Amino acid sequence: MLKKVSNNYRYLGLLATVLLAIAVISIGPLKNNSSSYKAPPKTAAKEELASQEGSSSKQIKDKGQSSQAATKGNEHKLLIESEMSEFGTKVQSIKEALSQIEARPKLPSLAVAGEPKAIYVTGAPEPKLKGISFEYENGMEIWIYPNKFPAPNYNEDAKTFSRVSVTEINGFKGTVADHNNKVLQGIGEVSEVAAVVWYEDGIEYQIYGDKAGQIRLKDLLPIAKSMQ
C-alpha cells in the first residue's frame, strides 16, 4: 500500500513538472510579444552630444537597437546599422503604403530617386502617426514622419552639431549635412551619413545617404527638391 501511494505521488510530481514546463513555454513568447509597436529611430539624447565633442564615448541606444546601432534624426549623426524592417511593416507598393496611413505626404520622384527596393509603413502608437519609409539598393533611405509636433528646433541642431547647416528645402525650414568619418573614443571610426531633413505642414522628411559615403549631400538635394 505504501509503495502504491509513493508511486502515485511520484506520478503527480511528474505531471506537475510537465504542466509547469508547458506553462513556461506558452507564457514566454506571449511576454516577449506583449507590444507589437517598435518606435522608429529618433534623435539621440544629450549624452551622445558629449561624445561628438570628444568628452564622452557613450553611444545612445534607441528602442530595439544594439550598442553599435546609431540613431538618426534632425542632427544627421552616425551610420545607420539597424535594419529598416525593424521599424515598420513591409508593403508591396507606394499605393498600399498610402492606404495604411492617414497623412498624405510629398513623395520622391521616381525619375530622380529611382525605384525603392523596399517600402515600409512605420510603426506608431496611434494611426495618425504612421509614416512611410523607403529603402534603396544604393543604401539611401527616406523616412517620412507625419503629425510631428512641436516642430523640430533646427537652429539648435545647427548650434550643437558643427557639420549641420540650417537651410530651406522647397520653401520650408530644414537642415543639411554631408558625409563625414570620425573616431569616437571607445567605439572607433564611425560614419556620419549625408542627410537632408525638413519640416513641412506638420510632416518631417528625412533623407539619408549610405554609410560608405558614396551618396553625398549633392546627390540628396535633387531628391528632396523633387518632393513637391
Domains along the chain with CATH numbers = 46-225 (3.40.1000)
Q: Given the DSSP bridges, would you call strands 195-200 and 165-169 parallel, antiparallel or unpaired?
A: unpaired
Per-residue pLDDT at 15: 40
In angstroms, rounded to a whole number, what is the distance separating the alpha carbons of residues 196 and 227?
Answer: 12
Q: 69 and 93 in contact (C-beta within 8 Å)?
A: no
pLDDT on residue 100: 95
Closest CA to 164 of 44, 39, 91, 77: 77
- Do residues 102 and 153 make contact, with C-beta atoms less than 8 angstroms apart? no
CA gap 42, 26 in Å, rounded: 33
In total, the chain counts a number of residues equal to: 228
Per the CB < 8 A criterion, the answer to whether 169 and 108 are in contact is no
C-alpha 116 chain-centroid distance: 17
At residue 169's C-alpha, the angle toward residues 166 and 174, to 5°, is 35
Position 82 scores a pLDDT of: 59
Q: Tell me how far apart the alpha carbons of residues 136 and 22 are, in angstroms, rounded to a whole number.
A: 44
Q: Which of 68, 48, 61, 43 is nearest to 153 (CA)?
A: 43
> Residues of the chain whose pLDDT is less than 50?
1-80
In angstroms, the CA 149 to CA 201 distance is 10
Q: Is the pTM here over 0.85, yes or no?
A: no
Scanning the chain, the segments in alpha helix (DSSP H) are 2-32, 46-52, 94-99, 110-113, 154-160, 217-225
